[in-house]
Amino acid sequence: MTSLDILAIGAHPDDVELSCSGTLIKHQKNGFKTGIIDLSEGELGTRGNIEIRKKEAEKAAEILGVEVRENLKLPDGFINPFDDNQILTLIEQIRKFKPKIVLANAQHDRHPDHGNASMLIERACFMAGLSKIKTDNQAWRPKYVLNYIQDRYIQPHIIIDISPYWETKLQAILAYKSQFYSPTSKEPETYISTPHYLKYVEARNRDWGRFCNVLFAEGFTSKTVLGVQNLGCLI
């Protein structure tokens, strides 16, 4: 398996699409190798089921052009950053794909799985670099772990312009037909299935774009200081 430049990890199918898929598309279009790992199958979701969401995730992956998409089948609703088996399962994937950058769930959010996944990913990325932890693949530690921002507002540390890729991002989100608004759906209404929810997602991406004078952007936080080669990177 060719190593990945960027690996986006989400607690549930559609976490990545909603929060950082524009960044994945941008880098894929510019020659970077990208991939996605879903920690769970989203089996506790009110709408849809495992089979439907699997097909939706596959369709979204095609739209995003990622090299690989894996599902670790960790228990939805019970992601635990202190569970040895969950950590080791993710360590093996990190060592398998050798990403330089990992994009992870928000550090705290409305859904408790998101914050727990953030901590699980952070721990696994560090521990994947410890050679005395034995797995099928050799030790590997990503250079950076960045957290995308989900439902709750968090002030970003870095903003990525995704303006040319907004429409493709929206297509990837809408691949999850079971989860978002459809006037013909007979399933129970949820927080994200209202007709206003995707307008909120668009508004946030527009607002972050405003900060760097572009139409659409995605925001990320980092627990480590990020450096640039020179100030020209900011111009």
Does residue 214 sit in helix, strand or coil? coil
Domain of 121 in residue numbering reads as 6-234
Spatial separation of the C-alpha atoms in residues 75 and 151, rounded to whole Å: 21
- Please calculate the CA angle 130-135-137 and round it to the nearest 5 degrees: 90
∠ CA 15-17-22 to the nearest 5 degrees? 135
CATH number at residue 30: 3.40.50.10320
Report if residue 203 sits inside a domain.
yes
pLDDT average, residue stretch 49-58: 97
Average pLDDT of the chain is 96
> pLDDT for 165-190, tens place per residue?
999 999 999 999 999 998 888 899 99
Taking the C-alpha atoms of residue 22 and residue 16, their distance in angstroms, rounded to an integer, is 9
**Residue 1 within any structural domain of the chain:** no
In a domain, 83, yes or no: yes
Q: Is the pLDDT of residue 234 over 80?
A: no
CA 95 – CA 99 distance, rounded (Å): 8
Q: What pTM, to 2 d.p., does this model score?
A: 0.96
Would the pLDDT of 1 be above 70? Answer: no
C-alpha 52, offset from chain centre: 19
The per-residue pLDDT for range 23-39, each reduced to its tens digit, is: 999 999 999 999 999 99
CB atoms within 10 A of CB 122: 18
pLDDT beyond 80 at 213: yes
| AA identity, residue 120 | L
Is residue 126 in a domain?
A: yes
State the pairing for strand pair 158-161/217-221: antiparallel
At residue 229, the pLDDT reads: 87
What pLDDT is stored for residue 233 in this prediction? 80
Q: Distances from the Cα of 185 to the Cαs of 44, 47, 181, in angstroms?
A: 19, 10, 8
Q: How many domains does the structure of the chain reveal?
A: 1
- Of 67, 62, 68, 66, nearest to 172 by C-alpha is 62
Name 143's Cβ contacts closer than 8 Å, sequence gap at least 6: 100, 101
Mean pLDDT of 80-87: 98
Share of the chain above pLDDT 90, in %: 91
